[in-house]
Amino acid sequence: MSFLPTPVEWVLAGLVGAISCAAPLARTLGYESAMIMTILAGGIALRRGLIEGGQLRRTLQQGADSQQKPVHAFRLASEGFCRATSPALIAAALPYVSIVASTRLIQGCRVAPGTVLVLFLVLPVAPHLAAFGMAVGALVRSTWARAAMLATLAGLHVVHPAVQVLAGRTIPHSMLFGFLSASGWGGVGSTDLDLPLSYFLLRGLAVAICPLLTGIAAISALGWSRSGRIPGLPVRLALAAAPVAAAVAYPSAFGLTPGAGVRERALSGWTRTEHVAVRFTPGGRAAATAGTLAADAEWDFQVVSALMELNRPDPVTVWVYEDEEQMRSLTGAEDFLFALPWRREVHTLLSSRGMEALRHELVHVLAGDWAVHHPLRISWNQAMLEGTAEAIASYRFLGGPFQKSAAAALAAGRLTDAMSLFSSTGFVWGQTSLRNSYDLSASFIGFLLERYGPRPLSLAYGGRTWEAAYGKTLPALNTDWRLHIARIPVSKEEVEKARATFDPQRNPPFFRKRCPRVGLAAPAGPPPPPSRPAAGSLAPAPSGAAARTAGGPVDAAARSRRPEEARSAALALFRAGLPDEAIDLLGRCLADDAIAGAQHLEISRSLFLCLLAAHRSDEARDLLLKMRTRSEFSPYQIQ
């Protein structure tokens, strides 16, 4: 066989190139193009490997009676390996070059970042499959035995990565199939990894060992041909599967991350409260604030658990990275944060953005208790997944900004209905932008929480139908939602703003976005709406000491007028399932005229959250209005 592809393989490569260039995301992400090229190269490598292995077996059998040496068998195996691998890489290079050329020269766009995944997928996968195919072809003659070995290969390549993910050894964004994580569809993996040279050297060794193992199989076949004694099928299966040992011994050679061990050593510092453990870099910036962060997260854990009415949820681990560079190198995640509900882990940055998103990701983890029977403990409906996290994390789903935004969109005639939003593809591929999908799904989920409470939502999140969870169909719930938000007053300015924000021409759905032009910044739409303040702006942060001492109900002696003790006692009552008593304590504390300024704000925040948890929304709104009348509070503090 030649080192070049056959005419049929050239045609297949051309078709793949054409399909990849025409794919909806080819100009924006390119991940699906990399996947198609990997399948093409892997298929060619496996097919040619089987042919070369069979030819090697026949050659060795013909020369078994002559003085063939093991060195000669290894040379033949190496040549066959090159003939199997070379056409696969060339066939994958053709569509890759066509994508780059069409993107830059014809469309005038920057090359899609996902196309670089070809280097991470094709380069290790093609030699690996070629080596396995050769080993199978050299050791096994019957068709059914080859089929059994190929099934074994497929099982290993599916089961092994899945085990790695479930064990927390790699991040799902970096897997071959890039499947979803609880942080959402948006991030599939980094293409600008800052990995050490040793990582790439180990990748090279993991691939280079494949022809060596194939050569060992060939030498064994030569010895069996000489002796005339062929061992049983299990022995041949084990030897033929030897190239798979490369992936098993070094799994991150087939991913984008250096593995969990490196991450655990880098973030070896830790501190914890009752339900939250924080991992950080010893001596880094996060070390100085880890105690406060843990206390904040503990408070959020308690409030979110109460809002969701969870029964004794398990603890959560928060991994805090110093900056985006460290997070990218250790997880492969670039410019996004994520949660792993099945591991009860949150991965975030030591930045204002990271702290704002912490509660959102925490809801993803805790909502895993609603989806215990789902793979990875997440809802596979994207609108349900993100809408639940956005609504609960805001603490303001009762008449909050999401409802105001949805009401303005309805008045402007641009509201996306829930049937489209909650369809299998409506969140990303629907009628509005991804950011608007977040807000509208949060509005719908917030409406359901306000009217029906968390119990029916937990059933729907866990996979029950809308009718089974709520006794109503989704269209009926959509009608109720529209009637609800139609009663929310909006100004003409808000309607005009919504008309622009929800305009599909100005803020198109994800797949209709125009690609960034070469030499120019990405095309900008209208100015984004003012960002919502951090969800934590309404959540008081108990001190580390308070988090440690607030372990249960408190007696009357602990109810001091000192603000720190009042907040600590309120947290203890709240955790003990006594929100009404916590509200009474904080209310009496606020009545003290001696408490003013920042202390008054902190107590007010605590009272606001307790009122929400007790479903006393009218009192919560009244409290918010009173806070706005105090001149010493800035708008940011009281939103």
Each residue of 577-608: pLDDT tens digit?
A: 777 788 888 887 777 656 666 677 777 777 87
Return the ∠ at Cα 219 (arms to 218 and 222), rounded to 5°: 90
Lowest mean per-residue pLDDT among 28-37, 143-152, 393-402, 485-494: 28-37
Question: What distance in Å separates the CA atoms of residue 305 and residue 64, rounded to the nearest whole number?
Answer: 72
Element (H, E) at 235: helix 233-240
For the segment 494-502, the average pLDDT, to the nearest whole number, is 89
Instruction: Count Cα neighbours of 166 within 13 Å in the Cβ-side half-sphere.
Output: 10
Pairing mode, if any, of strands 316-321 and 338-340? Answer: unpaired
pLDDT at 550 over 50: no
pLDDT at 181: 27
Has residue 293 got a pLDDT over 70?
A: yes
Which pLDDT does position 118 carry in this prediction? 61
Cα separation, 170 vs 164, whole angstroms: 6
Take residue 244 and report the two structure tokens written for it.
Answer: 């798979």
Q: Which residue type, as a one-letter code, is found at position 67?
A: Q
Task: Report the DSSP beta bridge partners of residue 270.
Answer: 279
Q: Which residue has the higher pLDDT, 61 or 486?
A: 486
Q: What is the pTM of this model?
A: 0.57
10 Å CB burial of residue 425 (0-12, 13-18, 19+) is exposed
pLDDT band at 408 (very low <50, low <70, confident <90, very high): very high
Q: Tokens 């766009």 belong to which residue?
A: 109
253 compared with 28, residue with greater pLDDT? 253
What pLDDT was estimated at residue 597? 64
Q: Residue 636 burial by CB count (10 A; 0-12/13-18/19+): exposed, middle or buried?
A: exposed
Q: Is the pLDDT of residue 356 over 70?
A: yes
- Rounded CA separation 454/449 (Å): 6
- Phi then psi for 317, rounded to 5 degrees? -105, 130
Q: Supply the DSSP string of 522-562, one letter for each residue.
A: PPP-SPPPPPPPPGGGGS----HHHHHH--S---GGG--SS
Q: Which of 438, 427, 447 is nearest to 528 (CA)?
A: 438
Least confident of 36-45, 276-285, 342-351: 36-45
* CA-based nearest residue to 612, from 394, 337, 310: 394
CATH fold group of domain 266-509: Neutral Protease; domain 2 (1.10.390)
Q: What is the pLDDT of residues 619-634, one digit of tens each?
A: 776 776 676 555 443 3
Residue 444: name the closest of 491, 407, 495, 494 by CA. 407
Q: How far is CA 278 from CA 45, 270, 282, 319, in A?
A: 45, 5, 12, 6
328 CB contacts (<8 Å, ≥6 apart)?
190, 192, 193, 194, 334
pLDDT tens for each residue of 252-279:
555 545 556 778 889 999 999 999 999 9
Provide the pairing of β-strand 276-280 with 269-272: antiparallel
Residue 107 CB partners (closer than 8 Å, separation 6+): 27, 515
Which tens digit of pLDDT belongs to each residue from 138-176?
A: 776 777 767 776 776 666 655 655 565 555 554 443 333
Q: Which amino acid is at 106?
A: I
* Residue-wise pLDDT tens digits, 166-224: 555 544 433 333 332 222 222 333 333 444 455 555 556 656 666 666 666 655 665 65
- For residues 505-512, give the mean pLDDT: 64
| Beta-carbon count within 10 A of 381 CB | 20
Which of residues 508 and 198 earns the better pLDDT score?
A: 508
> For position 568, what pLDDT does the model report?
76
Residue 447 exposure: Cα atoms within 13 Å on the Cβ side = 26
Q: Report H helices in 415-529.
A: 418-421, 426-429, 434-452, 454-461, 466-470, 474-486, 492-501
Task: Tell me what pLDDT residue 560 has.
Answer: 43
Q: Are 444 and 481 in contact (CB under 8 A)?
A: yes
Share of the chain above pLDDT 90, in %: 15
Grade residue 45 by pLDDT with cuts at 50, 70 and 90: confident
pLDDT attached to residue 639: 32
Give the pLDDT confidence score for residue 68 in this predicted structure.
53
For 452-470, how does the pLDDT look when each residue is reduced to its tens digit (9 = 90+)? 999 999 999 998 999 999 9
- Report the pLDDT averaged over residues 500-505: 83
| Token pair 């009496």: residue | 588
Distance CA 130, CA 45 (A): 5
* Residue 320: per-residue pLDDT: 94
Q: For residues 489 and 287, what is the distance between their CA atoms, to the nearest angstrom?
A: 46
The Cα–Cα gap between 601 and 95 comes to 60
Q: What is the pLDDT of residues 83-136, one digit of tens each?
A: 888 888 888 777 777 766 665 555 555 455 455 556 666 677 788 778 778 777
Query: Which residue in 107, 127, 96 sits closest to 20, CA to CA?
Result: 96
Higher-scoring residue by pLDDT: 315, 152: 315
Angle at alpha carbon of residue 632, lines to 629 and 638, rounded to 5°: 60
Secondary element (H or E) of residue 347 = strand 345-349
The pLDDT of residue 163 is 61
Beta strands 338-340 and 276-280 are unpaired
What residue type is assigned to position 503 of the chain? D
**Pairwise CA distance, residues 17 & 7, whole Å:** 15
Round to whole Å and give the CA distance between 282 and 511: 42
The alpha carbon of 46 is separated from its chain's Cα centroid by a whole number of angstroms, namely 31
Distance between the two ends of the chain, CA-based, in angstroms?
71
Least trusted range by pLDDT, from 376-390, 431-445, 552-566: 552-566
The arrangement of strands across the sheet holding 345-349 comes to 269-272, 276-280, 316-321, 345-349, 338-340
Mean pLDDT taken over the chain: 71
- Can you give the residue ranges of every domain in the chain? 7-258, 266-509, 554-638
Do the Cβ atoms of 385 and 364 come closer than 8 Å?
yes
| Exposed / middle / buried, residue 527 (Cβ in 10 Å: 0-12, 13-18, 19+) | exposed
pLDDT(309) > 70: yes
